[in-house]
Amino acid sequence: MLLQNKKIAIVGAGPGGLTLAKLLQMKGIDTKVYERDFDKNARVQGSPLDLHDDSGLAALRKAGLLEEFKQHFMVGADRMQIMDEHARIFFSDHDEKPEEDFGHEHFRPEIDRGVLRKILLESLAPETVVWNSHFSSLEAQNGGWLLHFKNRPPEYADMVIGADGANSKIRPYITDSKAFYSGVTMLEGVIYQASKTAPKINALLRGGKIMAFGNKKDLLMGQKANGEIGFYASFKTEENWAVNSGLDYADKQQVLAWFKKEYPEWSSVWHELFESAVVPFIPRPIYCMPLDQTWEALPNLALLGDAAHVMPPFAGEGVNMAMLDALELSENLTGGQHNTMEEAIAYYETNMRKRASQSALESLENGERMHSEKALDVMLGFFSNP
């Protein structure tokens, strides 16, 4: 086996990196994950995830974790309502959505991101994840790599996989292509104990998801675990809006005043989102890797997930692609069909770039539709005729 007696280092403990670690450990491969978070509770995980049968769920099946996933996914959280800026409902599948279950190609069960991370972490061998490891640089050594960190001694690995997200520090060692701004920025908020703190929004949401469209702007929200609601104000603006807006993102009243000014036609029913959110809000300019990117494969260095192909979130493919990356990379490295690590990585990366490019194009096109003058009509057509 190509990885026999080799040490593998994965930089980044997101779903993609953790899935890869699990799959490699199942083959008996010496694997460590280096994560800059102080510990597993260091920060709030983001919005819920809907996993797809041929990607995220396929990786969980291979990892032997599908039954564990079934115990923790949020039943009904995949149900959708589409509204206009006045909170008038134009589409809802809460009452007439056909029953779907695991194995159905259109079933996309939702799970809280933090819960998925916990499932993956607890499946790994003890001390697989080395927390509080802030990666800084790589140094070629003895056919492998010496990983340097800001706050701990260096570590050697025969192979390194960059699973360190959109701002990957591994990526520049492989390619100099850079992400471009999609034209859309999202302002993220989260509400705790929503049934008490935001009762009107909580009742409107019905434990599922809402997409509201009006005047080329959106509000997107969804049920999270523990009675929480995550939401995004999504709009087209210049790339540096987050810095140039002048907003204090820790000031709820200031952010609410911004919403009233920038979303003037929108109903006051939405104000509860901003009044009830915990602070700070988080501005997120949305980026995408070039659709035609390519690079020469290296024998001991690879990328997966956002580190390889960050894309807008408007097709729901980001985490699914990362987990499929993990599945395909592990199979190419351990399946016995390649003669060298470089050949295995090249085969994986060629296919990964192709499918990621298709998903990124879909995401960009959906982003344009969702922020267009006729967004409501277009999205109604999409959901009414899947």
Helix/strand/coil percentages in the chain, nearest 5: 35, 25, 40
How deeply is 256 buried, as exposed, middle or buried, from its count of CB atoms within 10 A (0-12, 13-18, 19+)? middle
Residue type (1 letter), 371: H
Beta-sheet strands, E only, within 20-63: 30-34, 49-50
Nearest by Cα to 23 from 348, 344, 327, 335: 327
In terms of Cβ atoms closer than 10 Å to its own Cβ (0-12, 13-18, 19+), residue 178 is: exposed
Domain spanning 7-70+110-178+291-365: CATH superfamily: FAD/NAD(P)-binding domain (3.50.50.60)
Q: How far apart are CA 21 and CA 122, in angstroms?
A: 12
User: Which two structure tokens, joined as six digits, stand for 317?
Assistant: 């493919």
Of 70-74, 101-105, 173-177, 190-194, the least confident: 101-105
Average pLDDT estimate for 298-315: 95
Domain extents in the chain:
7-70+110-178+291-365, 180-288
pLDDT tens digits along 111-126 = 988 889 999 999 999 9
pTM above 0.75, yes or no: yes
> Whole-angstrom Cα distance, residue 341 to residue 159?
9
Bond from prior residue into 280 cis (ω within 30 degrees of 0): yes
Contact call for residues 353 and 293 (beta carbons, < 8 A): yes
Helix (H) or strand (E) holding 161: strand 159-162
Structure tokens at 68: 């564990």
Look at residue 44 and tell me whether its pLDDT is greater than 70: no
The class of domain 180-288 in CATH terms is alpha beta
Six token digits for residue 260 = 């009233």
For the stretch 136-185, pLDDT in tens is: 999 999 999 999 999 899 999 999 999 999 999 999 999 999 999 999 99
What is the CA 243 to chain-centroid distance, rounded?
23
Instruction: Give the Cα separation of 235 and 220 in Å (integer).
Output: 11
Binding site annotation covers 152?
no
> What pLDDT score was predicted for residue 386?
54
Residue 84 annotated as binding? no
Q: What is the pLDDT of residue 311?
A: 94
Report whether 43 belongs to an annotated binding site: yes
- The string of pLDDT tens digits covering residues 250-278 is 999 999 999 999 999 999 999 999 999 99
What pLDDT digit, counting tens, does each position of 317-340 carry? Answer: 889 999 999 999 999 999 999 999
306 is known to lie in a ligand binding site:
yes
**pLDDT band at 48; cut points 50, 70, 90:** confident
